[in-house]
Amino acid sequence: MSRRNMACLLILFTASLIACSGAGVSSTAVPDEDSLQTRVAEDVAATMAALATISPSATPPLSPPTALPPTHTPGSTAPTAPPVPMPASEPAPESIPDTYVIEEERQIGSYILTLWRNTAADSWSFDSIATIASSTDGQILVQHDTVSGIADLTGQDITGEGNPDAVIERYTGGAHCCFSILVYDLGAALTKVLETRESNCGGRFEDLDGDSVLEFVTCDDLFAYVYCPYAASPLVQAILRYEPGQGYVAASPRFAHLYGEMIARHSQLAETAVAEEMGEWDQTTKCGVLPLVLDYLYTGQADRAWEAFGRLYPYPDALLFWAEVTESVSLSSLYVATSPSPQVSLPPYYMLQWLSHCGSEFQVVGFLTEGRQSCDPSVPRRDVYWLDMRLREIDLLGEGERLELTPAGCTTNCRLDVVRYSDNARVGSIRLDTSGDFPGAVYRVNGVESAHWRLRGDLTWEQVSP
């Protein structure tokens, strides 16, 4: 059996284990489920118990790896984190369908919190609706669907503002995605202080620093499926702290001392990583090395992340991989930078080319720099899933569409089709044009051509035609 087939089976096995898992929000232990998401949440309790004897693993003094020369090193002044915007205004409540009945209702201060259960024959346990209404006139102020439950913490003051809070758990019903947590301050003005994005990660609330204000411990799944199957994808621990007037904001560096055990474990994983052992799509050690790199980045230790990366990841795409990781992390709402990440020297542009002509083992996208031959084994490459994700950023792929290489297993005359999920109909194609001058162009054709784009060296897109 091929390693790719084994990876796919691993995904299905993992999905079957955690298909019925909930968001797991509590003030004590997360339910004991055999999933990476749950293990990440449990890490905090284990780490806290070990703090008296375990500290972050020692790292030699920073000396930039010769394989990855930085264009500059971190300065002495850390950048100021951008202010976190407060959650957007609530959507207008809709009428509750007739199949919903009240399962739980309680009055907290001047609000009535209600959980409505769907009694329809084809409903699911998480297909509930939560509403928060005024106890004065019964007007519904907040309404959310796909609710899996009202957390036990509801009614307690978890933010220290002096008002009770409501904690609502949402779950969309995927194999292990998606979870979301909402927290409302039930004071004189109803205020949303936390709404996590839908992701593979649930989380829990715990007072980590003894100030009677609960932090929210979760994980960041920004690299789920990107370099390997979900079961092996890095899910870095992330901690949010409540800040008056801002709500819950990223604060992992403040709790860096709680990552000691995880860093020790991930150091061992990275030091002993074997190519493709974690099911990496490109036969490298990305998913063996990345957990340690992310631990350091999220705890504000960019210099250690840089040293570990340069020492432990020796592949030709190292520059590209580092740029991908730091760019993705910088865009995450769960990450806050306390110092700039070391920068690497990148080419002005990449030319994207499908490498099927290089042989059946090259069913991947190559990142060519000017003058580089496409079939050179040192050309950085990514699989079609990577291209699928990046094309969505520039609207060349839409909701309900996917990429498919046609005909299957081709090495010549290959076509990247855009296929509709609902009926597998071909609705267009993507062209990676390398026939002209460097760096070529990327565009979509379905009757007419879309705008043409090219990929900069910093992995951002540049439109080159309307």
Report the distance separating Cα 416 and Cα 403, nearest Å.
6
With beta carbons less than 8 A apart as the criterion, state whether 51 and 258 touch.
yes
Tell me, yes or no, whether 169 and 218 share the same domain. Answer: yes
Q: Which of 326, 344, 362 is where one domain is finished? A: 344
pLDDT tens digits, 299-332: 999 999 999 999 999 998 898 899 889 989 999 9
Q: Which of 206, 223, 255 is where one domain is finished? A: 255
Report the distance separating Cα 141 and Cα 147, nearest Å.
16
Out of 26-30, 122-126, 147-151, 254-258, which region has the weakest mean confidence (pLDDT)? 26-30
Q: What is the dihedral of CA 346, 352, 354, 359, to 10 degrees?
A: -30
- Residue 77 has what pLDDT? 37
Over residues 183-188, the mean pLDDT reads 96
The encoded tokens of residue 388 equal 């699928």
- Residue 12 has what pLDDT? 35
Q: Say if 178 falls within a structural domain.
A: yes
With beta carbons less than 8 A apart as the criterion, state whether 114 and 104 touch.
yes
Tell me, yes or no, whether 113 and 239 share the same domain. Answer: yes
Domain that holds residue 281: 26-74+256-344
Q: Say if 441 falls within a structural domain.
A: yes
- Give the distance from CA 438 to its chain's centroid: 33
The encoded tokens of residue 202 equal 């649930």
For the beta carbon of residue 210, count every other beta carbon within 10 angstroms: 6
The encoded tokens of residue 236 equal 């870095």
Q: Give the confidence band of 27 by pLDDT, cuts at 50, 70, 90.
A: very low
For the beta carbon of residue 365, count every other beta carbon within 10 angstroms: 22
With beta carbons less than 8 A apart as the criterion, state whether 117 and 149 touch.
no
Q: Say if 443 falls within a structural domain.
A: yes
Q: Which of 237, 255, 273 is where one domain is finished? A: 255
Q: Say if 331 falls within a structural domain.
A: yes
Mean pLDDT of the chain: 82
- Residue 342 has what pLDDT? 83
The encoded tokens of residue 58 equal 């020692």
Tell me, yes or no, whether 453 and 365 share the same domain. Answer: yes
- Residue 72 has what pLDDT? 33
Tell me, yes or no, whether 266 and 244 share the same domain. Answer: no
Out of 29-33, 110-114, 237-241, 329-333, which region has the weakest mean confidence (pLDDT)? 29-33
Out of 268-282, 369-383, 451-465, which region has the weakest mean confidence (pLDDT)? 369-383
- Residue 89 has what pLDDT? 59
Q: Say if 4 falls within a structural domain.
A: no
Over residues 6-16, the mean pLDDT reads 38
Q: Nearest CA to 334 among 255, 394, 226, 423? A: 255
- Residue 210 has what pLDDT? 95
Over residues 342-351, the mean pLDDT reads 89
Number of domains in the chain: 3
Claim: this prediction has a pTM higher than 0.85: no
Report the distance separating Cα 19 and Cα 179, nearest Å.
12
Tell me, yes or no, whether 128 and 198 share the same domain. Answer: yes
Tell me, yes or no, whether 315 and 360 share the same domain. Answer: no
Q: Say how many residues make up the chain.
A: 466
Tell me, yes or no, whether 250 and 260 share the same domain. Answer: no
Query: What is the three-class DSSP state of 228?
Result: coil
Q: Say if 363 falls within a structural domain.
A: yes
The DSSP string of 366-420 is EEEPTT--TT-TTS-EE-HHHHHHHHHHTTSS-TTEEEEEESTT-SSS-EEEEEE
Beta-bridged to residue 104, according to DSSP, are 115
| Distances, alpha carbon 401 to alpha carbons 224, 324, 398, 423, 447, in Å | 19, 24, 6, 10, 17
Tell me, yes or no, whether 451 and 368 share the same domain. Answer: yes
Q: Say if 21 falls within a structural domain.
A: no
Over residues 238-267, the mean pLDDT reads 96
- Residue 237 has what pLDDT? 97
- Residue 125 has what pLDDT? 76
Q: Give the confidence band of 447 by pLDDT, cuts at 50, 70, 90.
A: confident
- Residue 360 has what pLDDT? 65
| Residue 199 DSSP class | B
Over residues 424-429, the mean pLDDT reads 95
Tell me, yes or no, whether 310 and 403 share the same domain. Answer: no
pLDDT tens digits, 34-93: 443 344 344 434 433 333 333 333 333 333 333 333 333 333 333 344 333 344 457 677
* Residue that the structure tokens 């996208």 belong to: 365
Tell me, yes or no, whether 183 and 292 share the same domain. Answer: no
Tell me, yes or no, whether 454 and 307 share the same domain. Answer: no
Q: Give the confidence band of 170 by pLDDT, cuts at 50, 70, 90.
A: very high
Tell me, yes or no, whether 249 and 135 share the same domain. Answer: yes
Q: Say if 446 falls within a structural domain.
A: yes
The encoded tokens of residue 173 equal 């019903």
| Distances, alpha carbon 6 to alpha carbons 36, 179, 264, 361, 363, in Å | 18, 27, 28, 17, 18
The DSSP string of 35-86 is SHHHHHHHHHHHHHHHTTT--PPP-PPP---TTS-EEE---SSPPPPPPPPP
